[in-house]
Structure 1
């Protein structure tokens, strides 16, 4: 939701592009993927890394903004993530997030030419201010659309919808573009 839609009189503030974010497999989803012989991969320029002892997809924020009244946030990242097994590959590109006024999140990505909601999140682990936006171990639960996309490639989803799949980790600076009004001395 844009700041003006939320009733704020000030325009949204941009987030600093170029900062990294991490989608880290939960222990349960890593085990479920291993059991199904499915591996996590990244869509360039993103990479698969180990972060805080978890296998993660590392991406970079390309653009984002936060409402000045802290009622919402949007962001978009580079590349994407993928899952593969035996020559089959499910790719999810141009990841986006939208946090609503209640701080629940919707995480979408392009899959087979259409944008789908892959994950949802609660406000647990998210922190917003007018100077920094961060998330630490933010639980991202797989949606029905996400589970269906995985099932469409692999026959079944290794993790049922509603189950925490990734934990989000990020820290983005907010760029203060607000200027104070000019004052004149009488």
Structure 2
């Protein structure tokens, strides 16, 4: 006898129903791509060569920090889900992000953990990196965190056991 989708424990993404689809508008994506250049230009005007230095080393440093925080969160929460995460160089999901569908609750937990602990790490480093370093690293941290935070904000009313699939044109939320 065939079970309904709600009764199946190991359902695949094809057995889920599309609940919400968030389109990524090309103009918004272009603005997002230009934002770091504007930020680095402002840093150079305000801080000179130090602004340029932290503007250039900020992206790899923050990407590494976010990777470490993400892996620690996945180890603590759900080790099996690590297979669904990988390196991505496409904008807006740059860095270590889901490469296939992932549970919304897990995605939300990793994004918020990376955002808040990343801010705390930057705040703790402030005495050693001075104001120019803090602004440069904060620029990149916010730039990498904004897409995930927007996804969490747009899907805040959805159930945690649903599935999020990130694609270049849209974000899809599925539920059984």
**TM-score of the two chains, using structure 1 as the length reference:** 0.30
More helix by share: 2
